[in-house]
Amino acid sequence: MTPTASLDTLAREAARLRGRVIEVSGRAQVPHLGSCLSCLDMLAVLYGRILRIDPAAPKAPERDRFILSKGHAAPALFQVLAWRGFFPEAWLEGYGDDGSLFGEHPPAHGVPGVEAATGSLGHGLPMGVGMALGARLKGIPNRTFVLLSDGECNEGSVWEAALMGAVQQLESLTAIVDFNKWQATGRSEEVLALAPLAEKWRAFGWETVELDGHDLEALAAALSRDRMGQGRPLAIIAHTVKGKGVSFMEDDNNWHYRTPSPDEIAAAHRELGLLP
Amino acid sequence: MRNTFAQELTRLAMEDERIVLLSGDIGNKLFDGLKAAAPGRFHNCGVAEANMTGVAAGLATMGFRPLTYTITAFATVRCLEQIRVDLCYHNLPVVVVGTGSGLSYTELGPTHHSCEDIGLLRTLPNLTILCPCDPTEVKLALRAALQHEGPVYLRLGKKGEPILHVGEPDFRIGKAITMRPGTEACLLATGNAVALALEVAERLAAEGRSIRVESVPTVKPLDGDLLRSLVGSMPVVATVEEHSLIGGLGSAVAEWVVDQGDVDYRLLRFGTEDRYLETVGTQAYARAQYGLTAERIAARLGEALAR
């Protein structure tokens, strides 16, 4: 079952979900807001248009798999999963409270729709390689998507997995790099000189696409490409803006750790068209 | 142990389509039988253990029973975090197989020794640790590991170890196996140190001592029933392992003893010392450097019994 939300619906939902993420960040003091906002459009397109998943049967063997390898964007993932009906939005009311399942990273157990616990970077792609390999061994015609951050590409295990994904010709595997040009303490280019990132993936044997990670139409087109017979995995290098959608958060790395005040939440909601 | 592992795994893989072996670029000819018997279920992951462990986790989520296989130091400590997060936190049924454990690869130097692995892995929740002592226990431990609903670490020696068991003992995870009865002291040995413990018992028997030997293939969870049964009846209990005195079987038993509060037996521990071995040689040479010889253990045990 492939969801078919229109691009207009996705744009509207993405703004609403941004508002929810910002609100929760302020209320529960959850950081990594900039990282959540940079990948939210990709999550919206994946969950609204691409992933063949059934919230009523979240463990169906034939489903597509999605791993949020940049686990610190869990606040965005949780909102998207609630939007798609994996659990009621009311579950997120106690976000971060003692005993809550919802913290700063996706947990291994208890949250429907979460395929893998992440948070330590560089774990998602190896697991995704295993899922894609397993699907091939079982003859399951599904797809596996892994969303990474650019800072995460510092981790050697990402490139170990890139090698194996290529040699195994895992055409059902897609890696998406949220290339927002920042990592925790600086520009990703200054920390470990990631660019040219697409060339790196290409040199590792992956088909690569570069696009604007906030262009819903471009995302939908790239993500919905038929992979059958391609003979190699796909890497989408998505150029994004950290903190996208709120002018005073955009491309300001302070929002890697800062959380918004009530006034800032209101200002953000106004910019997103959620408040008059 | 290595050849038995490969043969038994091949046999099991023919019966169970969920079994997939991932190798870290070792065992080139060793798994030819498996490759032929189970096409598509052997994958050389290259010299990339972190990825191999994550791939195993991904396969396990798809319903497979994967094993990762390489030299112990690299199957375990090299990718400790992947074992911790991908396997243990997710509680996935993956068997991490280390070959050449302890001082098996003395000649390769400290990079290839593995005397810290149990200590590091024993702290991980959900993980079962199995250290078979001979080819018979390898077979039984492998079968048990592949039936277990959670991650297992299978610590193998190398090749050519003698069979110590007569027939097939009853093997259950968490249960020790009596190798030899005795009344004055009980040696609890694990993995490739069981043969050494039996040698110690032989020596002391020649001096008229009655020494019991237990093979303890499961280091985690410990066999608490056995440890409890020794209270009040066994004056001396000693652990023997080819692993550091920090963190291994001896540590686990010492922790258990302290936690009980009413244990009256004297506990001795034999293992490798807290230092790297800077010189190469045979496995016997390395053991001697750490005092892990039948002669020395028998002497210390004899002293303890004479008190």
Q: Is residue A140 part of a domain?
A: yes
Tokens representing A77 are: 């993932």
Residues B296 and B242 in one domain: yes
For residue A257, is pLDDT > 60?
A: yes
- How many Å apart are CA A270 and CA A263, to the nearest integer? 11
Q: Chain A partners of B55 at a C-beta cutoff of 8 Å?
A: 126-127, 129-130, 133, 161, 164
Please give the pLDDT value at position A2.
62
Shared-domain flag, residues B251 and B294: yes
Residue A226's pLDDT band (cuts 50, 70, 90): confident
B70 C-beta neighbours (distance < 10 Å), count:
25
Half-sphere exposure for A170 (CA within 13 Å, toward CB): 33
- Kindly report whether the global pTM for this prediction surpasses the value 0.90: yes
**In angstroms, rounded to a whole number, what is the distance separating the alpha carbons of residues B237 and B176?**
14
pLDDT tens for A102-127 read 999 999 999 999 999 999 999 999 99
Give the list of residues 6+ apart from residue A260 with CB closer than 8 angstroms, or none.
A22, A25, A26, A33, A268
Whether residues B15 and B146 fall in one domain: yes
What's the CATH number where B28 sits?
Answer: 3.40.50.970
Residue A16 forms part of a structural domain: yes
If asked whether residues B141 and B207 sit together in one domain, one would say: no
User: Distance between CA atoms of B177 and B192, rounded to whole angstroms?
Assistant: 14
Q: Which residues contact B218 (CB under 8 A, 6 or more apart)?
A: B128, B129, B130, B131, B173, B174, B175, B176
Reply yes or no on whether the pLDDT at A239 is more than 60: yes
Indicate the residue type of A243.
Answer: G
* Closest in A61, A117, A122 to B90, CB measured: A117
Reported as a single tens digit per residue, the pLDDT across B3-57 is 999 999 999 999 999 999 999 999 889 999 999 999 999 999 999 999 999 999 9
- How far is B248 from B129, CA to CA, in rounded Å? 11
Q: Is the peptide bond before A196 cis (omega within 30 degrees of 0)?
A: yes
Residue A39: give the domain boundaries: 10-271
The letter for the amino acid at A178 is D
CB atoms within 10 A of CB A139: 6
Q: With H, G, I as helix, E, B as strand and everything else as coil, classify residue B193.
A: helix
Of all residues in chain A, what percent carry a pLDDT higher than 90?
Answer: 97
Which residue of A lies nearest to B20 if distances are taken between CA atoms? A134
| B163 in any annotated domain | no
Least CA distance to B78: which residue of chain A? A157
Residue A55 in domain: yes
Question: Taking residues A194-213, what's their average pLDDT?
Answer: 97
Query: Closest Cα partner for A214 from A173, A248, A183, A243?
Result: A243
Rounded distance between C-alpha atoms, residue B180 and residue B203, angstroms: 13
The string of DSSP codes covering chain A is ------HHHHHHHHHHHHHHHHHHHHHHT---HHHHHHHHHHHHHIIIII----TTSTT-TTS-EEEESSGGGHHHHHHHHHHTTSS-GGGGGGTTSTT-S-SSS--SSSSTT--S---STT-HHHHHHHHHHHHHHHT----EEEEEETGGGGSHHHHHHHHHHHHTT-TTEEEEEEE-SEETTEEHHHHH---SHHHHHHHTT-EEEEEETT-HHHHHHHHTS--TT--S-EEEEEE--TTTT-TTTTT-GGGGT----HHHHHHHHHHTTS--
The count of structural domains within chain B is: 2
Under the banding of pLDDT at 50, 70 and 90, the label for residue A4 is confident
Query: Taking CB atoms and an 8 Å limit, are A123 and B82 in contact across chains?
Result: yes
> The tokens of A111 are what?
């949250």
- Does B169 reside within a domain? no
Look at residue B167 and tell me if it is in a domain.
no
Chain B interface, Cβ < 8 Å to A:
20, 40-41, 43, 45-46, 48, 50-64, 66, 81-82, 85-86, 89-91
Shared-domain flag, residues B84 and B189: no
| Residue B170 belongs to a domain | no
**Residue contact B51–A126, C-beta within 8 A:** yes
Contact at CB, A126 and B57, closer than 8 angstroms: yes
Q: Average model confidence (pLDDT) for chain B?
A: 97
Q: What is the pLDDT along chain B (307 residues), one digit of tens a residue?
A: 999 999 999 999 999 999 999 999 998 899 999 999 999 999 999 999 999 999 999 999 999 999 999 999 999 999 999 999 999 999 999 999 999 999 999 999 999 999 999 999 999 999 999 999 999 999 999 999 999 999 999 999 998 899 999 999 999 999 999 999 999 999 999 999 999 999 999 999 999 999 999 999 999 999 999 999 999 999 999 999 999 999 999 999 999 999 999 999 999 999 999 999 999 999 999 999 999 999 999 999 999 999 8
**Cα(A229)–Cα(B82) distance, rounded to whole angstroms?**
32
Which of A105, A164, A167, A173 has the highest number of chain B CBs within 10 A, making it the mutation to test binding with B? A164
Q: Is B54 part of any domain? A: yes
Residue A128 near residue A144, CB atoms below 8 Å: yes
Task: Return all residues near B287 (Cβ < 8 A) that are at least 6 apart.
Answer: B103, B196, B242, B293
Q: Is residue A219 a part of any domain in this protein?
A: yes
Q: Partners of A239 in the beta sheet? A: A179, A212
Per-residue model confidence as pLDDT tens digits over B89-119: 999 999 999 999 999 999 999 999 999 999 9
For residue A126, give the nearest of B50, B66, B89 by CB distance. Answer: B50
In this structure, are residues B153 and B130 in contact, taking their beta carbons and an 8 Å threshold? yes
**Has residue A1 been placed in a domain?**
no
CATH number at residue A136: 3.40.50.970
Domain CATH number, residue B257: 3.40.50.920
With respect to residue B45, please indicate whether it lies within any of the assigned structural domains: yes
What's the pLDDT score for residue B159?
A: 86
Residues in chain A with CB shorter than 8 Å from the CB of B58 are: 126-134
The contacts of residue B33 (CB under 8 Å, 6+ apart) are B6, B7, B10
CB-based contact B214:B176 (threshold 8 Å):
yes
Q: Is A175 touching B (CB cutoff 8 A)?
A: no
Quote the domain boundaries for residue B147.
2-155
Question: What are residue B223's DSSP bridge partners?
Answer: none
Question: Per residue in A72-85, is it b (16+ CB within 10 Å) or e — as a string?
Answer: bbbbbbbbbbbbbe
The answer to the question of residue B165 being in a domain is: no
B129 and B195 co-located in one domain: no
Asked if the Cβ–Cβ distance from B54 to A127 is below 8 Å, we say yes
Question: Is residue A212 within 8 Å of A201, Cβ to Cβ?
Answer: no
- Same domain for B232 and B143: no
In total, how many domains does chain A have? 1
Do B59 and A133 make contact, defined as CB atoms within 8 angstroms? yes
Residues B49 and B8 in one domain: yes
Using the Cβ of A160 and the Cβ atoms of chain B, whether some distance falls under 8 Å is answered with yes
Residues 6 or more apart whose CB falls under 8 angstroms from that of B17 comprise B38, B41
- Say yes or no to pLDDT of A1 above 60: no
pLDDT beyond 90 at A3? no
For residue B71, give the 3-state DSSP assignment: strand
Whole-number mean pLDDT of chain A? Answer: 96
Q: Do the domain assignments include residue B191?
A: yes
